């Protein structure tokens, strides 16, 4: 076995749009989904990840490599996560949360959910509707009534730009 000779084992992951990625097993098993496959001996050839596209998987692998290179220091890991997520746009974060959920990576899942909430916190109702593809099914009268009822939510809150 490769592990016994000291050579790191490499896994090949396949995205749902047929891109192939090589990743060290030690990094890939941060995903409980992948670890279970490895432990069950299903990781002989290529591991197909049917719910993750190539762009998102590339990003997740960058994260896996980055975070597994950090020794057991929760502070440093946290600051790596923050930095890793800092330049991601909202759509990418949503793809990441789905991927983290599918791959069963609780730390990434937690960090991405927190980041999404942080971005959303001060956004307008219109912005959230657009991003989440929500259809406004209130009549103008109903919308006025629900806004009146939730007047307290609009007080003293600065709304970010709608970009």
For binding to other proteins (CB under 8 A), which residues are involved? 90-91, 94-95, 97-98, 101, 109, 113-114, 116-118, 120-122, 125, 128-138, 142-143, 146-147, 150, 152-157
Q: Which is nearer to other proteins, 36 or 118 (CB)?
A: 118
Q: How far is the CB of 60 from other proteins (least distance, A)?
A: 15
Q: How far is the CB of 91 from other proteins (least distance, A)?
A: 5
Closest by CA position to 90, among listed 146, 9, 160 = 160
User: Would you call 77 helix, strand, or coil by DSSP?
Assistant: helix
Q: Which is nearer to other proteins, 27 or 115 (CB)?
A: 115
Cα gap 147→153, rounded to integer Å: 9
Please, which contacts does 17-20 make with residues 24 or more away whose CB atoms are closer than 8 Å?
17/53, 17/54, 18/54, 19/54, 19/57, 19/58, 20/46
Q: How far is CA 54 from the centre of its chain?
A: 14
Q: How far is the CB of 43 from other proteins (least distance, A)?
A: 26
Q: Which is nearer to other proteins, 24 or 119 (CB)?
A: 119
Which letter does DSSP use for residue 47 in this model? E
Q: Which is nearer to other proteins, 20 or 157 (CB)?
A: 157
Q: How far is the CB of 120 from other proteins (least distance, A)?
A: 7
Q: How far is the CB of 34 from other proteins (least distance, A)?
A: 20
Q: Which is nearer to other proteins, 2 or 144 (CB)?
A: 144
Cα gap 109→119, rounded to integer Å: 15
């Amino acid at each position: 076995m490769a592990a016994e000779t000291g050579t790191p084992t490499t896994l090949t992951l396949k995205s749902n749009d047929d891109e192939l990625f090589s990743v060290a097993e030690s990094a890939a098993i941060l995903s409980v989904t992948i670890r279970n496959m490895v432990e069950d001996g299903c990781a002989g050839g290529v591991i197909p990840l049917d719910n993750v596209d190539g762009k998102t998987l590339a990003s997740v692998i960058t994260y896996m490599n980055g975070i597994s290179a950090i020794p057991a220091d929760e502070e440093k890991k946290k600051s790596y996560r923050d930095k890793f997520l800092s330049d991601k746009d909202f759509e990418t974060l949503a793809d990441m949360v789905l991927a983290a959920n599918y791959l069963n990576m609780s730390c990434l899942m937690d960090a991405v959910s927190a980041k999404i909430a942080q971005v959303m916190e001060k956004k307008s109702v219109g912005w959230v509707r657009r991003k989440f593809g929500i259809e406004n099914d209130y009549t103008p009268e109903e919308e006025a009534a629900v806004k009146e009822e939730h007047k307290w939510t609009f007080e003293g809150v600065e709304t970010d730009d709608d970009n």
